[in-house]
Chains A and B, each alone.
Chain A
Amino acid sequence: MKFTPIITALALATSSMAINAQQVEVSVTNLTQGIYYTPFLVAAHNTDMSLYQLGQPASAELQMMAEGGDISGLSAMLTNGSADIIENPAAGLLAPGMSTTAMLDTSDGNDRLSLVAMLLPTNDGFVGLNGWQIPTDAGTYTFTVNAYDAGTEVNNEMINGGGAPGVLGIPVEPGGNGGTGGMGVTDVEENATVHVHRGNLGDDDMTGGKSDLSNTVHRWLNPVARITVTVM
């Protein structure tokens, strides 16, 4: 009996909060024809958290994801901040033209949706949605998102397995259209903040040239993904 007033007070406090738990279905479609996405991290979090800010340097956690597809750092950061997360809904890479769906049960106060994955093959390109406000009204909301450059690695476009943070190079070309022997497109990163990706350059020499990427396969224009959010 002692606990009853406390429980009642808690219930009251919870119900008076403006933002309550929601069930949200998040569907992502890869809109490119030649770019693969590494395992997605999908999260509902509070307004204090942010995975990246355009015009600001990337965090070490974002760099891990953008250079090598490793979402563990961002995932830990979000979990520490009491976010609701779904990792790797596609159970692996999301191929060009394909879709995947994640179901999120959001906790009270976690009314911001974020989503990231690395673009392969790129040096540090990623697709991102950052702190989108989840509507309180049930319904289906569709929009598109862009490809960003983390600004942490030179876009030399050489496929050499380099995926760890700070290791120059592209980890892998999953589609089997990668080349070898490129001299490297550039050794300068002129914008060290998170910015809009200028796209892959590529070339038409699969055993040499500047780039190990193909200028007919590995290009894209924004937007690169379509997101459909269904609030139950």
Chain B
Amino acid sequence: MTFNSKFKKLLSSITLASLVALAGCSDSDDDEMVVIEPPPPPAPVVYTYEVSVTNLTHAQPMSPVAVVLHNEGQLWQLGQSASSGLEMLAESGDNAAVLADAIAIASQGGAGILASGMQETITVSITDNMPMMLSLATMLVNTNDAFTGINAMEISDLIVGESISMKTGSYDAGTERNSESMMTIPGPAGGGEGFNEMRDDVDFVAMHPGVVSQDDGLTQSALTQAHRFDNPTLMVMITRVE
């Protein structure tokens, strides 16, 4: 017997069985009639978050922001080696690998470079799976491997219409030495190389010490005093809208 004929036979016996069941019920007015119907599919529940970001630096454009919803894990851990996705984002500004991280249940990238003083709102949605956490990362592009963001912030308590605001500090991915040389700064100040898989630095994530710049005595630096920064570097407001 082929699979098809088996399946047809099964179907016809189900049809017969339901007819018999209905017939059995039809004349018994006293009994509660039980008609087993497939339950209507539940209306999908959509969880939507608007993430507003403002670049607070003087002259550090930020790479397209990565916003990730997840239920477990972290984008980075202080004192631990950066993931290759985070290394990619922090050295070159490419957010693709972070957006596709294994922990992500939904993710959304920013529209483009976020210049200093500029604000952008990124909307991220997920259906039928209330996200527990939100993470966000973006590179300070006139650096070797500096990034800022938020790491596994609890958002499950947010009700519709509620917001959380915060300002974020800056981290060093620890994957590229802070030479500040033109060849190694991908942003407009250098126009140099972005990602390089070689890890020639401490290989753990820590707070960023800031840039030195040629104005402050690092002669090989492609950076000027304008690229120096202090924390916080990004303002973030997360609003649950749905």
* Chain A residues engaging chain B, CB cutoff 8 angstroms: 54-55, 146-147, 149, 151, 155, 185-186, 188, 190-193, 195-199, 201, 210, 215, 221-222
Q: Judge whether B57 is part of the interface by a CB distance below 8 angstroms.
A: yes
**Contact A186–B56 (Cβ < 8 Å):** no
Residue numbers in B under 8 Å from A190 (CB-CB): 58-59, 116, 226
**Contact B118–A55 (Cβ < 8 Å):** yes
A188 to B189, CA, bound (A): 15
Q: Judge whether B232 is part of the interface by a CB distance below 8 angstroms.
A: yes
Residue numbers in B under 8 Å from A192 (CB-CB): 117
Residue in B118, B216, B226, B230 with the greatest tally of chain A CB atoms within 10 Å? B230
Instruction: Write 20 A-B pairs (CB below 8 A) sorted by A numbering.
Output: A54-B54, A54-B56, A54-B235, A55-B117, A55-B235, A146-B167, A147-B230, A149-B58, A155-B225, A185-B215, A186-B226, A190-B58, A191-B58, A195-B55, A195-B117, A196-B57, A196-B230, A201-B228, A210-B215, A221-B230
Residue numbers in A under 8 Å from B235 (CB-CB): 54-55
Q: How far is the CB of A195 from chain B (nearest CB, A)?
A: 5
**Contact A201–B216 (Cβ < 8 Å):** yes
In the complex, which residue of chain A has the Cβ closest to the Cβ of B53?
A55
Assess A191 versus B228: contact at CB under 8 Å? Given A55-B235, A196-B233, A198-B57.
Answer: no
The 4 closest A-B pairs by CB, nearest first: A193-B117, A55-B54, A190-B59, A196-B56
Q: Judge whether B229 is part of the interface by a CB distance below 8 angstroms.
A: yes
A146 to B232, CA, bound (A): 8
Q: How far is the CB of A46 from chain B (nearest CB, A)?
A: 19
Assess A151 versus B228: contact at CB under 8 Å? Given A55-B55, A191-B59, A196-B57.
Answer: no
Q: How far is the CB of A77 from chain B (nearest CB, A)?
A: 23
Query: Which of B216, B226, B228 is within 8 Å of A188, CB to CB?
Result: B226
Q: How far is the CB of A8 from chain B (nearest CB, A)?
A: 37
In the complex, which residue of chain A has the Cβ closest to the Cβ of B211?
A198
Residue numbers in B under 8 Å from A186 (CB-CB): 224-226
Q: Judge whether B119 is part of the interface by a CB distance below 8 angstroms.
A: yes
Residue numbers in B under 8 Å from A222 (CB-CB): 230-232
Query: Which of B215, B224, B225, B231 is within 8 Å of A196, CB to CB?
Result: B231
Query: Which of B55, B119, B224, B228 is within 8 Å of A199, CB to CB?
Result: B228
In the complex, which residue of chain B has the Cβ closest to the Cβ of A192?
B117
A197 to B59, CA, bound (A): 11
Assess A151 versus B117: contact at CB under 8 Å? Given A195-B57, A195-B58.
Answer: yes
Give B55-69 interface residues, CB cut-off 8 Å to A: 55-59
**Contact B216–A215 (Cβ < 8 Å):** yes
In the complex, which residue of chain A has the Cβ closest to the Cβ of B226?
A190
Query: Which of A55, A185, A199, A210 is within 8 Å of B56, CB to CB?
Result: A55
**Contact A196–B232 (Cβ < 8 Å):** yes
Give B69-102 interface residues, CB cut-off 8 Å to A: none
A5 to B116, CA, bound (A): 58
A90 to B92, CA, bound (A): 48
14 additional A-B residue pairs with CB within 8 Å, beyond A151-B117, A191-B116, A195-B116 = A54-B56, A146-B232, A147-B230, A149-B58, A188-B226, A190-B116, A191-B58, A196-B56, A196-B230, A196-B231, A197-B58, A198-B58, A221-B231, A222-B230
Residue numbers in A under 8 Å from B59 (CB-CB): 190-191
Assess A201 versus B231: contact at CB under 8 Å? Given A196-B56, A196-B57.
Answer: no
**Contact A198–B228 (Cβ < 8 Å):** yes
A103 to B230, CA, bound (A): 32
A126 to B2, CA, bound (A): 81
